[in-house]
Structure 1
């Protein structure tokens, strides 16, 4: 028997990069959390402590900040591609790079009915994500979002399920359905209007959640993913993860009150966790597109 070193990568996780544009009186802001990971012939660093081939993680951090200035931060997918291409094409002996980015959204403060030029409020909706991989096999971009909290007060059912001696759940044809959605989608092109596509995908997913008479959260995820693929031919697959944020009707009968689906207790755990991948049957190979580093995107 031999013991060998398997897959490995190293980098700098969670660099908090805030880029403010001051080119005019009306400033702009992009707020990112950037993680880098490099792949290549780094076995000597693990096996012998030999750092000859190792670009320090501190250097990777510095590169992210320098690129925020020199390259600018528009769409996070484009920024990630700039970083990954630099590490692979300009730094020997790097053979592959993985960049994971979270973006935190801000909206302008409104003062006396007018948007303020240089003050923002943190938006409390979803976090946009991007994961970019560049290596010898190609360039892979995965867009996404997480923590998109959705709830609808009707239009959801759950009935006809398998039962056994341990089943206590009652069937329902009218329930609250809520989730904190995580979605990722793999592009087959890098010639994309990233911001426009992101906004469009979010609109599609919210519409499907809202308008489908859902017989199960599984069915809702299928419709979300299928609708995205139908709208964007340059997306190969969509991965979805949705915790079922249960809302249970409270029994108010001890207080001589009726409760026809109006007062609920929101249970944070345990929860059902529903996951699905929706993809084209002719989707090109994913390569290392889904091989995570920090796991943030």
Structure 2
């Protein structure tokens, strides 16, 4: 039985860069973590150690720096598209490129009640993410975020679940629902004038509104409705995937203290935790192709 080389890619992971905009007394800052991966005519490098077609990963790192100078990385999706096109269009052996980006937000420090021109403090509710896959003729942009911690103190239930001889969990009509949400949504062959920042803010807003207002019977139900709301609001989105660890809050038993505890004092358990994953997609959406490239597992 023959053994052959399977799918492969190589690149530079987690290039940390900070881009300052200093064209006025009020400076701007964009703080990124950039990873690149290339596919193409690289079989000889794996099979024979022949490096003649291999663009060094150190060069990929330098390209990320240079393109942050050429294209101010805001929105990060436009920067990722430009960097991907550089690799595919300008480097002959490269047939496809994937750029993954994390953005860390900063806010201006207040001095005398006004934002300071060039002093910042790290902030942000979540880490914004983007993954650009350019595999001509297709282009896929996966926009999203991770580590968005959200909690509702009521409006969540969990009961009528399957029970066996090992079940100890008690049903409840009123519980804390909390999670650290990861969400990613795919736009295929996006229009050149797509408002990436507007879409990002809008998707986050509609999902948080659904999280807040849905009388939830399960975290699974909540994720489905959040994903559906995003697709209803933005026809450009082909699919969305969500991952939500259940950040459990258990009511403290005050019986030993001869006190009542009417859903007021809880202990937060970080592990083990339920891990809920869901997706919503349009039944007529174009497929993403090779999922290894275009929409990585979120587990």
> Where on the TM-score scale, by shorter chain, does this alignment land: which range?
over 0.9
Q: Deviations over 1:211-268 (max 9, x none)?
A: 1110000010011011011100010000000000000001111111111111101000
TM-score, L = length of structure 1: 0.97
How many residues are aligned here?
Answer: 297
- Pairing 1:230–2:232 present: yes
Q: Tell me if structure 2 keeps the 8 A contact 1:108–1:116.
A: yes
Within a 5 Å distance, the mapping from 1:1-297 to structure 2 comes to 1-191=1-191, 192-288=194-290, 291=293
Deviation for aligned residue 1:43: 1.1
Residue 46 of structure 1 deviates from its aligned partner by 1.0
In the TM superposition, residue 292 of structure 1 has moved relative to its aligned partner by 6.6
CA–CA distance in structure 2, aligned partners of residues 290 and 32 of structure 1: 23
SS at structure 2 position matched to 1:8: coil
Q: Distance in 2 between matches of 1:295 and 1:21?
A: 35
Greater RCO, CA 8 A, separation 6+: 1
What is the Cα deviation at residue 120 of structure 1?
1.0
Q: Is the deviation greater in 18-27 or in 281-290? A: 281-290
| Contact kept in structure 1, 2:223 and 2:278, CA below 8 Å | yes
Kept after mapping to 2: 8 A contact 1:189/1:234: no
Pair 1:294–1:141, CA change in 2 (3 A): closer
For residues 174-211 of structure 1, the C-alpha deviation after alignment (integer angstroms, 9 at most, x for no partner) is 00000000000001342210001101111111111111
Gaps of 5+ in 2: none
Q: How many Å separate the matches in 2 of 1:22 and 1:281?
A: 46
Change (3 A) 1:289 1:199: farther
* Structure 1 position 108, deviation (Å): 1.2
In 2: Cα distance, 1:282 partner to 1:294 partner:
21
Give the structure-2-normalised TM-score.
0.96
Give the 3-state SS of the residue equivalent to 2:85 in structure 1.
helix
Rounded to whole Å, the distance in 2 between the matches of 1:156 and 1:110 is 38
SS in structure 2 at match of 1:200: helix
CA root-mean-square deviation: 1.6
Native 8 Å contact 1:133 1:289 kept in 2: no
In structure 2, the CA distance between the partners of 1:35 and 1:180, relative to structure 1 (3 Å rule), is same
Which segments of structure 1 move beyond 4 Å, counting only runs of 4 or more?
292-296
User: After superposition, what is the alpha-carbon deviation per residue over 1:105-164, rounded to whole angstroms, capped at 9, x for unaligned?
Assistant: 111111121011111111141000000000124111000100000001100000111111
Query: Separation in 1 of the partners of 2:291 and 2:31?
Result: 24
1:58-93 Cα shifts (integer Å, max 9, x gaps)? 100000000111122111111000011110111111
